[in-house]
Copies of this chain bind each other. A is one copy, B any other.
Amino acid sequence: LSVATNFDPPTDTSMNAPLALVTGGAGFLGSHLCERLLDLGHRVIAYDDLSTGHRSHVDHLAHRPGFRLVVHDITQPLPDDPALAEVGRVFNLACPASPSKYQLDPVQTTLTSVLGIWHLLQLAERTGARLLQTSTSEIYGNPQVHPQVESYPGHVDPVGPRACYDEGKRCAETLCDAFRRQGRADVRIARLFNSYGPRLRPGDGRVVSNFVVQALRGEPLTVYGDGSQTRSFCYVSDTIDGLLRLMESDCSGPVNIGNPDERTVGDLADTVIRMTGSGSPIVNRPLPADDPVRRRPDIGLARERLGWQPEVSLEQGLGETIGYFRRELGLDVPLRKLA
């Protein structure tokens, strides 16, 4: 897989290596980002409150020099840690991202985005660290234009069932941009579309992990609505590559990071069944309120300003993901056919 970035890899992980703070560092994307940063020779402090992140995601990093996991909830003031003064890059990935998780405690979800970015922006202002906020395609809500370009203002009900996530993320963007406008912090805003890959959690409610786990277990694949709603799935290594390029670019954003290869949910289900060789049927369930009908990024800005585009096809990425879940679940479903 192509993992080229503009990041300048330091030669060692001594005390002189650059230090990054990754919030949500034990989450799905966060753990991949920590790993990549370490591979590039950076030191990494990972914050995670372990509400949806898991120690097991970073267990394999624990022994590596320059890595440290701190259990911390970013709605609370930052720990009094002298190392924070050395941080040169802050990646904020701290927020539950799956509707079934973030709707459990909507107050906490909103505060994670808003108080979290407020605490991190103050750190960035104090130390001069550059801060990258991972925003989301959810800020476009149920979009009325297609594909979504960064100038599209979105279609989000501020008191709808997904608002706790969407409006928290929107407001976090606003705070980042306000710091930028006032010259108080050097910020980057990425709007991430659906990502997938190893370390998605079985049962966290995201469609790729749902389907793969159901197929591997021989259970029916749950398709909400008639499956004609679309999503664009970006493999995790591409997403991480986009984040690193944006961080080192001179573009403050917002920049869409996602895969423009749009698929229907029904097509995804068929592909997963085919690639796992599963005998699972598909069952249809009612579409939840506020579920977006279509979602596809326009990545013209990322192409132009970051020289970035996804390199991993859905079939390649699904192959990696299925392999991960097969090992993770300890299941022995026969693989009848490889893509």
A34 within 8 A of B: no
> CB < 8 Å: which of B109, B156, B177 contacts A163?
B177
Copies in the complex: 2
Q: Enumerate chain A interface residues (CB-CB to B < 8 A).
A: 105-107, 109-111, 114-115, 118, 139, 141, 151, 153-160, 163-164, 167-168, 170-171, 173-175, 177-179, 181-182, 184, 189, 254
Closest to A178 in B: B106
B107 & A159 in contact (Cβ 8 Å cutoff): no
> CB < 8 Å: which of B154, B170, B179 contacts A171?
B170
B106 & A171 in contact (Cβ 8 Å cutoff): no
**Is chain A's binding surface mostly helix, strand, loop or mixed?**
helix
B151 & A178 in contact (Cβ 8 Å cutoff): no
A182 & B141 in contact (Cβ 8 Å cutoff): no
In the complex, what distance in Å separates the CA atom of A153 from the CA atom of B152? Answer: 14
In the complex, what distance in Å separates the CA atom of A153 from the CA atom of B107? Answer: 20
Determine the chain B residues whose CB is within 8 A of the CB of A171 once the complex forms.
110, 114, 158, 167-168, 170-171
In the complex, what distance in Å separates the CA atom of A164 from the CA atom of B158? Answer: 15
In the complex, what distance in Å separates the CA atom of A177 from the CA atom of B168? Answer: 13
Closest Cβ of chain B to A159, distance in Å, is: 4
Closest Cβ of chain B to A57, distance in Å, is: 28
Closest to A185 in B: B107
